Amino acid sequence: MAKILVIDDDDLIRTMMVSALRKRGYDVFGASNGNMGLKMAQKDQPDLVITDILMPDKEGIETILELTSMYPNLKIIAMSSGGATKNMSFLEMAEKVGAHCTLKKPFKPQIIFDAVQATLEL
Protein backbone atom coordinates (compact mmCIF):
# COMPACT_ATOMS: atom_id res chain seq x y z
CA MET A 1 0.00 0.00 0.00
CA ALA A 2 1.09 3.58 -0.58
CA LYS A 3 3.13 5.61 1.91
CA ILE A 4 1.49 8.90 2.88
CA LEU A 5 2.95 11.83 4.81
CA VAL A 6 0.45 14.19 6.48
CA ILE A 7 1.84 17.63 7.38
CA ASP A 8 -0.40 19.78 9.58
CA ASP A 9 0.33 21.92 12.62
CA ASP A 10 -3.09 21.13 14.10
CA ASP A 11 -2.46 18.03 16.22
CA LEU A 12 -6.09 16.93 16.19
CA ILE A 13 -6.49 17.15 12.41
CA ARG A 14 -3.14 15.46 11.77
CA THR A 15 -3.83 12.64 14.22
CA MET A 16 -7.34 12.05 12.87
CA MET A 17 -6.12 11.96 9.26
CA VAL A 18 -3.24 9.61 10.05
CA SER A 19 -5.57 7.28 11.95
CA ALA A 20 -8.32 7.32 9.30
CA LEU A 21 -5.89 6.65 6.45
CA ARG A 22 -4.16 3.85 8.39
CA LYS A 23 -7.55 2.19 8.84
CA ARG A 24 -7.82 2.24 5.03
CA GLY A 25 -4.58 0.28 4.84
CA TYR A 26 -2.13 3.05 3.99
CA ASP A 27 1.30 3.39 5.59
CA VAL A 28 0.87 6.86 7.11
CA PHE A 29 3.08 9.11 9.18
CA GLY A 30 2.66 12.71 10.31
CA ALA A 31 4.67 15.89 10.74
CA SER A 32 3.69 19.06 12.60
CA ASN A 33 5.37 21.57 10.25
CA GLY A 34 7.03 21.89 6.87
CA ASN A 35 10.59 21.55 8.18
CA MET A 36 9.78 18.28 9.91
CA GLY A 37 7.81 17.15 6.88
CA LEU A 38 10.77 17.71 4.54
CA LYS A 39 13.04 15.68 6.84
CA MET A 40 10.49 12.87 7.03
CA ALA A 41 10.02 12.90 3.24
CA GLN A 42 13.78 12.50 2.75
CA LYS A 43 13.90 9.64 5.25
CA ASP A 44 10.69 7.77 4.40
CA GLN A 45 10.15 8.70 0.71
CA PRO A 46 6.34 8.83 0.62
CA ASP A 47 4.23 8.30 -2.48
CA LEU A 48 1.90 11.12 -1.46
CA VAL A 49 2.13 14.18 0.78
CA ILE A 50 -0.95 15.88 2.22
CA THR A 51 0.01 19.29 3.54
CA ASP A 52 -1.72 22.17 5.21
CA ILE A 53 -0.89 25.58 3.76
CA LEU A 54 -0.92 27.91 6.77
CA MET A 55 1.62 26.63 9.32
CA PRO A 56 4.35 28.10 11.50
CA ASP A 57 8.06 27.52 10.80
CA LYS A 58 7.66 26.55 7.13
CA GLU A 59 4.32 27.13 5.46
CA GLY A 60 2.76 24.84 2.88
CA ILE A 61 3.58 26.70 -0.34
CA GLU A 62 7.28 26.74 0.50
CA THR A 63 7.07 23.08 1.53
CA ILE A 64 5.40 22.14 -1.78
CA LEU A 65 8.07 24.04 -3.74
CA GLU A 66 10.88 22.22 -1.94
CA LEU A 67 9.21 18.81 -2.22
CA THR A 68 8.54 19.15 -5.95
CA SER A 69 12.13 20.33 -6.49
CA MET A 70 13.55 17.30 -4.68
CA TYR A 71 10.95 14.76 -5.87
CA PRO A 72 9.39 15.82 -9.20
CA ASN A 73 7.10 12.75 -9.34
CA LEU A 74 5.78 13.09 -5.78
CA LYS A 75 2.00 13.44 -5.55
CA ILE A 76 0.78 16.32 -3.35
CA ILE A 77 -2.58 17.28 -1.87
CA ALA A 78 -2.80 20.77 -0.33
CA MET A 79 -5.47 21.76 2.19
CA SER A 80 -6.43 24.98 3.91
CA SER A 81 -9.20 26.67 5.81
CA GLY A 82 -7.96 30.05 4.60
CA GLY A 83 -6.86 31.15 8.05
CA ALA A 84 -8.50 34.02 9.91
CA THR A 85 -9.29 35.82 6.66
CA LYS A 86 -10.72 32.67 4.98
CA ASN A 87 -8.50 33.50 1.98
CA MET A 88 -8.68 30.52 -0.37
CA SER A 89 -6.24 31.98 -2.90
CA PHE A 90 -3.61 29.92 -1.07
CA LEU A 91 -5.10 26.78 -2.62
CA GLU A 92 -4.93 28.27 -6.11
CA MET A 93 -1.30 29.13 -5.49
CA ALA A 94 -0.65 25.59 -4.23
CA GLU A 95 -1.91 24.18 -7.55
CA LYS A 96 0.33 26.56 -9.47
CA VAL A 97 3.43 25.40 -7.59
CA GLY A 98 2.79 21.68 -7.81
CA ALA A 99 -0.19 20.41 -5.78
CA HIS A 100 -2.19 17.82 -7.71
CA CYS A 101 -5.34 18.34 -5.65
CA THR A 102 -6.60 20.95 -3.19
CA LEU A 103 -9.15 20.65 -0.40
CA LYS A 104 -10.97 23.30 1.60
CA LYS A 105 -11.13 22.56 5.33
CA PRO A 106 -13.23 21.36 6.97
CA PHE A 107 -14.09 18.30 4.92
CA LYS A 108 -15.67 14.92 5.60
CA PRO A 109 -13.43 11.84 5.79
CA GLN A 110 -14.79 10.44 2.52
CA ILE A 111 -13.53 13.55 0.72
CA ILE A 112 -9.93 12.87 1.77
CA PHE A 113 -10.26 9.16 0.96
CA ASP A 114 -11.49 9.98 -2.54
CA ALA A 115 -8.80 12.64 -3.04
CA VAL A 116 -6.04 10.25 -1.92
CA GLN A 117 -7.21 7.48 -4.21
CA ALA A 118 -7.61 9.81 -7.21
CA THR A 119 -4.26 11.52 -6.65
CA LEU A 120 -2.37 8.24 -6.25
CA GLU A 121 -3.89 7.07 -9.56
CA LEU A 122 -2.54 10.09 -11.48
Q: 17-60: per-residue pLDDT in tens?
A: 999 999 999 999 999 999 999 999 999 999 999 999 999 889 99
The pLDDT value given to residue 81: 83
Residue boundaries of the structural domains of the chain = 3-120
Over residues 65-86, the pLDDT tens digits come to 999 999 999 999 999 986 555 5
- Homologous superfamily assigned to 3-120: Response regulator (3.40.50.2300)
Rounded to two decimals, the pTM is 0.94
pLDDT band at 89 (very low <50, low <70, confident <90, very high): confident
pLDDT value at position 57? 85
DSSP for 62-116, written as a single string: HHHHHHHHH-TT-EEEEEE--GGGT-THHHHHHHHTT-SEEEESS--HHHHHHHH
